[in-house]
C-alpha cells in the first residue's frame, strides 16, 4: 500500500509539470538565480531590457505600421511570401461543416508544428507553384503544406486534406526527405528524428480511437472534438488547448525523463530548481506543445469558438527569442568561448538559456505594450511574440552573423528546437 501511495504521489507531482503555469514558475526561479549571480553560465543585465524593448518596437512598427498584429502561430508561416495558401484551401475544399474544416486545419497545424524544429543554415525549399525559395521556419511550413495538400498524409485519395494515423505509422525518413527536397547538397537537420516523431504520433492516434476518432477515422485532427468539449458556451481557455495536447500527445516525445509513469516530454534538469516534492530539479518547457497550442487558436475561432486567457500560455523558449536577449546584451555568457562550442539540449547552459528566455519574455512584454500604448488585455503575449520578439531575434541574428544563425549552436534531434 505504501508503494502504491508513493507511486500515486509521484504521478500527481509529475502531472503538475504538464502545464504552462509550471513552465512560468520554474523559469522565473532560474531568472531570480540569474539576478543573484548564481547561474553557472549566464549573467542577467535587466538595465538593458529597455533598449531591447526599443528594438522590438522598431520591428513591430516597420512590419505592422497599423499595429494590427495577429497571434504568433504556424499560420503566419503558411503565408510566406505574401501568399495566403490556407485561404485558398478553405475556399476550395468540400467540407460538410465547420467541424470538418477544423479537423483538417488541426491535422495540418499539428504535423507542420511537429516538423518545425531548426532546419539548419544550408537547407532550402523551392515551391513549385510560385518558383520561390524559402528557408528555415517558412521553408519547413511551405514544404509541410505542400505535402499536406498533395495528400502525402492521407489514406483517402478522394480526400487529400487530412492526416491519417495509418499513414503516419509507416512514414519513412526517405518519404520526408523527398517531400522536403533533401539531398546531399541540401541537408536538413534531424530528418530521422522528425520522421520518428510522426511515427510515434501515428501510433498514439491509432491506439486511442476514443480520443482521436470520435467522428472520423483516427487522425490528429480528432483533438478538435476533445478541445471543443471543454467549451463553456462558445468560449475555450487557451490553457485547455495545451492541457489536451500534453495529456494526449505526451507519449509521442522521445524517451527522456519519466516520473511516476508520466513521460515529461520537453522537461530537463537544473540543480538550482526548488520544489517540495520529487519534481525538485526539473524545469518543463513544452515548447513545441505551446507553439502548437498557439497555432490551434485560429482553427477553433474559424469553427465559431472564442479563445480566452491566451496569456495563460508562456513565451516560447527557442533560439530566436533566446537569441534576442543574448544579441541585445540582456543576457551575457560568463564564458564567451561558449559561443564557439556546440551544446546539447539537456546541458545546463541550454536549460538556463531557455528558462531565462521564458521569464524575460514576461518581463519585456509590459515595456513593449507601454511604448505602443496598449493594455495587457489588448496586446497579449501572443502578439508580443509575433510582432515581435521572434522577428527581432531573427533580425539581430542577421545583423550580427552573416548566415543569420543563432548566437549559440545547439545539437538537436529535430524534436526540441
Q: What is the pLDDT of residues 331-384, one digit of tens each?
A: 999 999 999 999 999 999 999 999 999 999 999 999 999 999 999 999 999 999
Asked if residue 117 is part of any domain, the answer here is yes
Pairing of strands 42-44, 331-333: antiparallel
Please tell me the predicted confidence (pLDDT) of residue 417.
63
Which structural domain range is residue 368 located in? 2-411
The helix/strand/coil state of 1 is: coil
Asked if residue 417 is part of any domain, the answer here is no
Asked if residue 416 is part of any domain, the answer here is no
144 vs 35, 53, 78, CA distance in Å?
41, 33, 9
Please tell me the predicted confidence (pLDDT) of residue 152.
97
- Band of residue 414 on the pLDDT scale cut at 50, 70, 90: low
DSSP string of 31-58?
HHHHHTT--SSEEE-GGGHHHHHHHHHH
Asked if residue 10 is part of any domain, the answer here is yes
Asked if residue 79 is part of any domain, the answer here is yes
Nearest to 372 by CA among 72, 45, 47, 59: 59
Pairing of strands 342-344, 409-411: parallel
- Band of residue 397 on the pLDDT scale cut at 50, 70, 90: very high
**Half-sphere exposure for 257 (CA within 13 Å, toward CB):** 24
Q: Nine-digit cell at 115?
A: 516538423
Task: State the pTM of this model.
Answer: 0.93
pLDDT at position 186 over 70: yes
Number of domains in the chain: 1
Contact 17, 284 (CB under 8 A): yes
Summary mean pLDDT of the chain: 94
Over range 39-48, report the average pLDDT. 98
Over range 233-250, report the average pLDDT. 95
Phi, psi torsion values for 263, nearest 5 degrees: -80, 120
Among 75-79, 92-96, 349-353, 370-374, the least confident range = 92-96
pLDDT at position 150 over 90: yes
Alpha-carbon distance of 413 to 254, in angstroms, equals: 10
Nearest to 365 by CA among 310, 410, 286, 285: 310
Please tell me the predicted confidence (pLDDT) of residue 282.
98
Amino acid at each position: 500500500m505504501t508503494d502504491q501511495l508513493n507511486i500515486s504521489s509521484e504521478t500527481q507531482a509529475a502531472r503538475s509539470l504538464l502545464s504552462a503555469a509550471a513552465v512560468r514558475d520554474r523559469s522565473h526561479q532560474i531568472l531570480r538565480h540569474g539576478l543573484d549571480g548564481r547561474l553557472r553560465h549566464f549573467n542577467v543585465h535587466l538595465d538593458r531590457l529597455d533598449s531591447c524593448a526599443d528594438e522590438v518596437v522598431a520591428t513591430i512598427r516597420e512590419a505592422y505600421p497599423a499595429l494590427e498584429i495577429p497571434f504568433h502561430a504556424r499560420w503566419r508561416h503558411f503565408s510566406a511570401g505574401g501568399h495566403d495558401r490556407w485561404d485558398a484551401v478553405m475556399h476550395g475544399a468540400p467540407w460538410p461543416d465547420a467541424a470538418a474544416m477544423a479537423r483538417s486545419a488541426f491535422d495540418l497545424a499539428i504535423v507542420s508544428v511537429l516538423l518545425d524544429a531548426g532546419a539548419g543554415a544550408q537547407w532550402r525549399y523551392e515551391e513549385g507553384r510560385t518558383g520561390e525559395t524559402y528557408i528555415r521556419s517558412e521553408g519547413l511550413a511551405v514544404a509541410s503544406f505542400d505535402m499536406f495538400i498533395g495528400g502525402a498524409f492521407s489514406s483517402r485519395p478522394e480526400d487529400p486534406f487530412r492526416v491519417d494515423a495509418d499513414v503516419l505509422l509507416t512514414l519513412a525518413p526517405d518519404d520526408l526527405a523527398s517531400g522536403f527536397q533533401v539531398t546531399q547538397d541540401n541537408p536538413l537537420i534531424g530528418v530521422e528524428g522528425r520522421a520518428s516523431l510522426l511515427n510515434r504520433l501515428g501510433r498514439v492516434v491509432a491506439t486511442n480511437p476514443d480520443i482521436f476518432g470520435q467522428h472520423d477515422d483516427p487522425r490528429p485532427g480528432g483533438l478538435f472534438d476533445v478541445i471543443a468539449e471543454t467549451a463553456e458556451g462558445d468560449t475555450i481557455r487557451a490553457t485547455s488547448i495545451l492541457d489536451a495536447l500534453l495529456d494526449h500527445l505526451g507519449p509521442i516525445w522521445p524517451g527522456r525523463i519519466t516520473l511516476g509513469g508520466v513521460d515529461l516530454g520537453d522537461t530537463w534538469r537544473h540543480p538550482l530548481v526548488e520544489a517540495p516534492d520529487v519534481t525538485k530539479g526539473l524545469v518543463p518547457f513544452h515548447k513545441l506543445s505551446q507553439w502548437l497550442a498557439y497555432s490551434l487558436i485560429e482553427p477553433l475561432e474559424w469553427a465559431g469558438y472564442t479563445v480566452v486567457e491566451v496569456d495563460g500560455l508562456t513565451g516560447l523558449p527557442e533560439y530566436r527569442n533566446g537569441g534576442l536577449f543574448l544579441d541585445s546584451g540582456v543576457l551575457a555568457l560568463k564564458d564567451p568561448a561558449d559561443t564557439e562550442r556546440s551544446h546539447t539540449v539537456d546541458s545546463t547552459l541550454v536549460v538556463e538559456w531557455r528558462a531565462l528566455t521564458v521569464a524575460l519574455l514576461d518581463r519585456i512584454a509590459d515595456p513593449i505594450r507601454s511604448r505602443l500604448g496598449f493594455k495587457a488585455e489588448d496586446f497579449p503575449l501572443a502578439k508580443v511574440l509575433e510582432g515581435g520578439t521572434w522577428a527581432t531575434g531573427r533580425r539581430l541574428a542577421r545583423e550580427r552573423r552573416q548566415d543569420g544563425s543563432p548566437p549559440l549552436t545547439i545539437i538537436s534531434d529535430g524534436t526540441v528546437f
